[in-house]
Every structure is written in structure tokens, then in C-alpha cells.
Amino acid sequence: MIVLHDFHRSSASFRIRIALKLKGIDYRAVVHDLDAGAHRSPQYLEINRQGLLPALEIGEQVLTQSAAILEHLDATYPDPPLLPNTTRGRARVRALFQMIASDTHPLTGMRVARYLKGSLGCDDATVGRWKRHWITETFTVLETMLAADPATGQFCHGDRPSLADIALVPQVVSARAAGVALEPFPSISRIFERCMHIEAFRSAHPDSCAIPTHA
């Protein structure tokens, strides 16, 4: 049995939900309410010492870090593939993924917002500007990269979803929540809408899985 430690508003968990659904992998979700600090419970820290979501249990193995989990899923459940079949394509898709997973998402998550408010005394408006700054910085570059590159297709890379779309879609959902206007980013918006026509993306969306299913 595969168990996903999950929370509907966790962007990194959202990525794993998409991949599991795209690949048709059966799993059970154990929901940890981030707002209530459930990811810091002693029980969860025994599963993932970092106290971050997601974690994926496959038998006795516990996988953490969404990039590592996605690579693992793609290697062990290769159909459909989430990476292109050329080294050049894989490098492009992994770079697009990391632009979001490393350069953007870590700056805009809850743990950083908590520090900005608690330790730096920032108000909600300042935290909102902070989030919009980093998302806009990345989206501005990403938009020109996607628009300029013939490797972009219906999706970030060609005409099938890849790791790049799996990172992009949750970041677009976060961007909207943070009040980032998407009009300046037509390629990003177009790819987001294209993904939302796929059941795996739609059913992984936070709005589709907000009802806790505690174990």
C-alpha cells in the first residue's frame, strides 16, 4: 500500500498528487492539517524528521522531498513518462521544475511567512508583497522562456505533461491565492488551463481534496 502524507494547500504535496494520478497509482492519503501544526506532531516527525509535507510511504520505504519522490515515481512507474526521452529535453524540464521548486516555492511557503511575521514583525500586507515579488520575478522569466522556445508545446515541454507542468500548476494556484495577476503571463496561463483539462490535475487541485480524510 502506498500512503501519501498530504495537505490540500501544500504545493509540494499537490505535485505528488498530480504524478500519482497521472500514473494511475492507487494510494491512501493521510492528511496533516498544516494550519494546526499537525506536521510537527511526534508521530509525523517519526515518519519525516524534517516535519515537512509531503512524504510518501511505499511499503517500508519513506520517501521525502517532492523532487526526489517524483524522480522515484518516474523511474519505478515509467508509464506515462514525466521526463522527455532526450538528455537535452530532460535538462530543460528539470531546469523549469527547479525554477519553481528551488527559486520560488521555498520563499513563498508557510514556514517563511511565519518567520517574517513572528521574527521580523512583518504585517500581512508586507508578507503578501514578499510572496508576489518572488512569484512575479520567476513568472516574468519563465513566460519569456516558454514563449521563445520551440520546445514548448501544449505543455511546458511538448504535447504531454512533464515534471515542469507538475511544478507550474501548483505555483499558479499559489500565485492566484497571493493576488498575482496572470494577464502578463499568457503562456503560463495557457499551459495552466490546458493542464486543468486533464482529470489528474483537476482532481489533485486543493479545491478537489480539501476534505480531510484522517487515517
Write out the residues near its own copies by the rule CB under 8 A.
49-52, 61, 63-69, 71-72, 75-76, 87-88, 90-92, 94-95, 97-99, 101-103, 105-107, 112, 115, 119-120, 122, 126, 129-130, 133, 141, 144-145
Residue 187: CB minimum distance to its own copies, A: 13
Closer residue to its own copies, CB minimum distance, 106 or 153: 106
Enclosing H/E stretch for 61? strand 61-64
Cell readout for 162 is: 512533464
Kindly write down the DSSP assignment for every residue of 109-135, as one continuous string.
SHHHHHHHHHTT---HHHHHHHHHHHH
Give the three-class secondary structure for 74.
helix
Residue 166: CB minimum distance to its own copies, A: 15
Residue 3: CB minimum distance to its own copies, A: 15
- Cα(206)–Cα(49) distance, integer angstroms: 25
* Residue 129 identity (one-letter amino acid): R
Closer residue to its own copies, CB minimum distance, 62 or 198: 62
Residue 184: CB minimum distance to its own copies, A: 15
Closer residue to its own copies, CB minimum distance, 98 or 189: 98
Whether residue 84 is preceded by a cis peptide bond, meaning omega within 30 degrees of 0, is no
Closer residue to its own copies, CB minimum distance, 170 or 209: 170
Give the chain's largest Cα–Cα span: 49
